[in-house]
Structure 1
Amino acid sequence: MPFIALPPDPASPDGEVVAGDGWYPDIDVNAMRDALRIGELVTDARLIEAIKGGQLTIEGELEDWRAAREVEGAADLSAVDPARMTGGTHRLTLLYTRAVRFAAAAELSELHRDLTATETGQARADTAATTAPDYHRLATSAVRDILGTGRVAVELI
């Protein structure tokens, strides 16, 4: 009998999303797993909570910007500059999704540690700790792109 290897089931059910508030879009859980190579060690429940945290963080940073867009008549994010696309996707929707994903990944990276005491396990934990600032930086860059502000702040002394 030949050996047939099947890929593991995803740690999150197919089609699972964390709902947006109606103005911001939903976040696809498995699309985030794929985009950021989040393994199955992160449970579905932990990933969902991290995504919710990412939504709260990013939406808080964009609160004034959103209020201004609503005053301009935008019914949702996709109604803001709707013709501006990147790779066939609404640019601001793409940036919002990236910002939430990176904010969620930063939270996971800061909080999710390998519990083993082996040298290999510690090395993985050290690697995760060094990537959290990178995720924060990427989330901040996506927010600044939405706001239309620069990515670098420089102050002369």
Structure 2
Amino acid sequence: MSLIAAAPPLVRTTPPSDPAPLGVVSAGDWWPEIDLAAMRDTMRLDGAVTAARLRAAVQDAMATTIDQLAAWALVHMTAGIASLADVPTALQIDGESSAVQRFRRAVYCTAKANLIERYSDYDTTGRARKDTQEETRDGQAEEHRRDATWAIRDILGVPRLTVDLI
């Protein structure tokens, strides 16, 4: 007699108290740095995403986000504003500019969407049938891209949705 037990795949996780430094990603003095450990914790990324993969995803996400904000940022830079944190905004939350918080959210969500598309997230493994896992992964990636787009549009001060009648 034999027994075959099917269980969800084991995923090596890195506890939040892991002292291994992940560092920060910087794009110059005007843009906020992204702390990789904070991003890993905030976006629920486990140890299956290595530090090198996380850094590469964040670098690409920062480039994408900054490209979308480039013209807006140039206007503020030429006006003499020293950093994104110094851009006058109506809202300060926990002593931090909402523009900085939204920039961070755009980077986090773009990076997570890219990672989800390449690596099965633990949210999509073990429970769903194999044929629906890709759909679930794609849906999660699109939700993160939507959140990133909304964060960028909020920084720009434009509506999140534009509807045209055809």
Q: TM-score under structure 1 normalisation?
A: 0.83
Aligned twin of 2:145: 136
Q: 1:104 deviation in Å?
A: 0.6
Residue identity over aligned pairs, in percent, reads 34
CA shift, 1:78, in A, is 1.2
Q: Look up the match of 1:3.
A: none
Deviates more, 1:25-34 or 1:123-132: 123-132
Which residue of structure 2 aligns with residue 94 of structure 1? 101
Given the two structures, how large is their TM-score scaled by the length of structure 2? 0.79
Asked whether 1:22 is paired with 2:40, we answer no
Q: Partner of 1:78 in structure 2?
A: 85
SS of residue in 2 equivalent to 1:81: coil
Which shifted more, 86-95 or 64-73? 86-95
5+ residue gaps, structure 1: 1-6
The answer to whether the 8 Å contact 1:12/1:44 transfers is: no
Q: CA deviation at 1:128?
A: 2.3
Corresponding letter in the other structure for 2:153: R
Asked if the contact 1:20/1:27 (under 8 Å) is kept, the reply is no
Structure 1 residues 73 and 37, CA, compared in 2 at 3 Å: closer, same or farther? same
- The one-letter amino acid of 1:86's match is I
CA RMSD, Structure 1 to Structure 2 (Å):
2.5
Contact 1:15 1:30 in 2 (8 A): yes
Counterpart contact for 2:110–2:148, Cα < 8 Å? yes
Match of 2:54, as an amino acid?
Answer: L
Per the alignment, do residues 84 and 15 of structure 1 end up closer, same or farther by CA in structure 2, a change over 3 Å counting?
farther
- The equivalent residue for 1:55 is 62
Structure 2 stretches of 5 or more lacking a match?
A: 1-12
SS where residue 62 of structure 1 aligns?
helix
Divergent runs of 4+, >6 A: none
Distance apart, 1:96 and its partner CA: 0.5
User: If each structure's helix is expressed as a fraction of its own residues, which one has the higher value?
Assistant: 1
Query: For this pair of structures, how many residues does the alignment match?
Result: 148
Q: Shift of the alpha carbon at 1:75?
A: 1.2
